[in-house]
Chains A and B, each alone.
Chain A
Amino acid sequence: MKVLWLQAAGCGGCTMSLLCAENPNVFELLSGAGISFLWHPAISLESGAEVRALLEAVERGEVALDVLAIEGSIERGPRGTGRFQMLSGTGRSMLDWVVSLAPRAHHVVAVGTCATYGGITSAGGNPSDAVGVQYDGAHPGGALSAEFRSLSGLPVINVAGCPTHPGWVTETLMLLAAGALGAADLDALGRPLFYAQHLVHHGCPKNEFYEYKASAEALSELGCMMEHLGCVGTQAVGDCNIRPWNGEGSCTRGGYPCINCTAPEFEEPRHPFTETPKIAGIPVGLPSDMPKAWFMALASLSKAATPERIARNAVAPRVEVTPTIRKPKGRR
């Protein structure tokens, strides 16, 4: 399976993250699964005229396009021309190329939240009029229409994340190469369920603090960051705390909140990223699938029942009170 990878309007961080794949390294992992790059802007030898010739051949249908992978959002500005990003050397906008190449592709994969939904490139007033490949924020229809289907019959596969975990990208590509990723394997926003069926909350090392609503008040403190510091790990999809990042990391393990970077419109939370919005002192935003009355009742009960160890550790940068050791009964 050959992948043509284009970098649209983004930071290149999803490629940089991809290169962090381990066991085995990214090149062995992909080649072992029969995957190679038709061209990749950070990896391939070909430059300039060689690439133009390849793109033109793909466009004419002379070179098969197994997968078109797009990283970065698609800019429509200024004034609908797409000229805020010209694909260099071609005199044509990236918007024009993506619209032209996508119907030739067996699969189209949007890599990262810029490519999936617009992402950070569409933050603020969206100065470049950026959209995702098949979504504009949470709304279907981006650079490609909501009805678009690639030759495989699938919509654009949305590997969202800012950045994407190397496992999300490599495993999506390997599943496609194995013919093992169908429409039923994607969630309602086109994200592969193998990572989007989990919440960032799952496996978060702050879970015990969450259970008692024992909250950190400032960044670096050990407590749960939901109440004060803007953490939305209980609502964000991703297996970030199940399979770690870069060895043993994740945002919450690093001492800072989950900002829901796998979701459409995460870039505009309408409050400072590291501060939880509140109404009358009560945080806005509930954990996914939790009835509000239950949450309120459980929160007040568990807060009242918080053990000393958890209350003290929640506002400390390192464990101050260790778990009580109970001696086993029946032995001397």
Chain B
Amino acid sequence: MSEGARLVVGPFNRVEGDLEVHLDLAGGRVARAQVNAPLYRGFERMLEGKDPRDALTITPRICGICSISQSMAAARALGAAMGLVPTPQGAGVAALIHAVENAADHLLHFNLFFMADFTRPCYAAQPWYGRVVERFTAAEGGAVRAAVEARARLMHILGLMAGKWPHTLALQPGGVTRTPGARDKLRIEASLRAFRRYLEEVMFGGPLEEFVALGNPDALARWERGDVGLFFRIAEDTGLAALGRGAGRYLSFGAYPLAEGAGHAFASGIWQAGQLAPLETGSISEDLSHAWMLGATAHPYAGVTRPDEAMREGAYSWCKAPRLSAQPVEVGALARQVIDGHPLARALVGPDGLGGGVLARVAGRLLELARTQIVMERLAADIDPTARFITQGRLPDEGQGAGLVEAARGALGHWLRIEGGKIASYQIIAPTTWNFSPRDGAGVPGPLEAALVGVPVAEGEATPVAVQHVVRSFDPCMVCTVH
């Protein structure tokens, strides 16, 4: 490979939506990366001037994979503007509906999006190659087929409680639109039992409680059971722990709010330099210096979305660059588990203040999938079929509100301003907006751009496999990214 060679990687599939990665190579490694989100649709502009309630119909359709997360964020933003919170039981069912989507996304990512790359011929000499081909060949592998079946069955909970998936209107500022009865509760619990059986028999190969009790990467590496065990073996042999390490700055808005004042099932906060700090959303801003967007760096309450139709030189993505106190942060399942204080997640990102790499991101997601099952079982057990599941409120003519939730891929925020009873401004920062942001005005690259530096590229590789592992380890959702 010649020094100074460049590669354009795309179409980049098994990520949700459109992604193009530009790589400068030197010495058989990535020297510099630019990440381009090449699709702009303009949801924030569509919403301007509409009845605020219409956000509940329109924003879920930003994304077919994080649809319920978008619903949740919109419902919370409206609720904040209305001064309305869901009834406790409505909040519990909403959290369950949300957790089902997130669990389904984690399942899909591992089995359909991520593992397929190890079936590539470049790994044919590996002792595990036959096994991984049998389990993870696209559309045909045993694990792939088992995963879509388990996912479809799990989603019966959404058919029952949310009408359909994706794109439900069941999540409202005051709760949920369907009131479960005693038999619905039993059906939900039956679906969850079936899902646990799948997770324990196929994916994890053992009790979930045993997996979530693992405390460090050595114990993880010794977990040989299930498809998850196959992944840990592959990770060890291919050095995925050191590949694509992040900067160790994580953000979580907190997932699945518990009863009033009791926090979240997975805590909110900020993690940097090996320290936990409380969430401070006032210091969030979006920088437009390298985005085909016009306007100044602003907090989302003041932000605008004006596409630069000239697609000026120097900018290279429709994605804005969100920053927290002027710094990029990584979001996602690993971030949530680190911030929640899970010992395995903390150990995976290391005591050196550096961030986790491919292994840590994927293991963080698997850990969270196991823990989410336990959360869902508790939310289902807590359903009281005699309770009220929704309360009504009034929209103000003037007001504002933020809806901050955790999608499968990380922190999702909606910031809404209402004037004259209509939407005056609606700004959205999605998880992959954070993770796959372009550079900012100081030239600081986004988290993926930084994580790709140093990734090996073999002679003659047009679509480098290690780059694919790093990109997919973030579980990007590109349709959410620009929206």
Contacts and interface: CB of A to CB of B under 8 A. Distances in A.
A244 B10 contact: no
B156 interface: yes
Interface string A73-89: 00101110001111111
Given A25-B148, A247-B155, A255-B178, A50 B10 contact: no
A272 interface: yes
B392 interface: yes
12 contacts: A10-B479, A17-B166, A19-B151, A37-B139, A39-B13, A43-B14, A47-B468, A86-B20, A88-B12, A89-B8, A124-B47, A317-B390
B394 to A, nearest CB: 12
**Chain B: number of interface residues, binned into ranges:** 35 or more
B138 interface: yes
Contacts of A251: 163-164, 168-169
**Chain A: number of interface residues, binned into ranges:** 35 or more
Interface stretch (A57-65, A125-133, A188-196): A125-133
A88 B19 contact: yes
A19 B16 CA distance: 14
A89 B46 contact: no
Given A11-B479, A89-B11, A125-B46, A219 B177 contact: yes
A228 B89 CA distance: 25
B152 A20 contact: yes
A221 to B, nearest CB: 9
Contact of A11 (B45, B64, B119, B137): B64
A42 interface: yes
B214 interface: no
B45 A125 contact: yes
Contact of B64 (A12, A78, A123): A12
A101 interface: no
Nearest to A36: B139
Contacts of B14: 41-44, 47
A249 B158 contact: yes
Contacts of A106: none
Interface in A109-126: 120-121, 123-125
Contact of A13 (B156, B166, B181): B166
Contacts of B160: 246-249
Interface in B286-316: 307, 309, 311
Contacts of B242: none
Q: Which of B13, B48, B158, B390 has the most CB of A within 10 A?
A: B13
Given A19-B148, A20-B152, A317-B179, A121 B41 contact: yes
A332 interface: no
Contact of A163 (B56, B137, B152, B167): B167
A21 B151 CA distance: 10
A254 B164 contact: yes
Interface of B: 8-14, 16-20, 36, 38-42, 45-51, 53-54, 56-58, 61-65, 67, 108, 112-113, 116-117, 119-120, 137-140, 144-145, 148-149, 151-153, 155-156, 158-170, 172, 175-179, 181, 307, 309, 311, 318, 388-390, 392, 462-463, 468, 479
A25 B152 contact: yes
B62 A274 contact: no
Contact of B178 (A31, A130, A220, A275): A220
| A-B pairs with lowest CB-CB distance, top 3 | A254-B163, A13-B64, A89-B10
Nearest to B318: A84
A28 B152 CA distance: 14
A21 B152 contact: yes
Given A218-B392, A248-B159, 7 more contacts: A11-B166, A27-B140, A45-B117, A45-B119, A127-B307, A246-B155, A249-B163
B462 A48 contact: yes
B45 A254 contact: no
Given A124-B48, A246-B158, A7 B119 contact: no
Contacts of A279: none
Contact of A16 (B48, B58, B65, B162): B65
Contacts of A45: 116-117, 119-120, 137-138
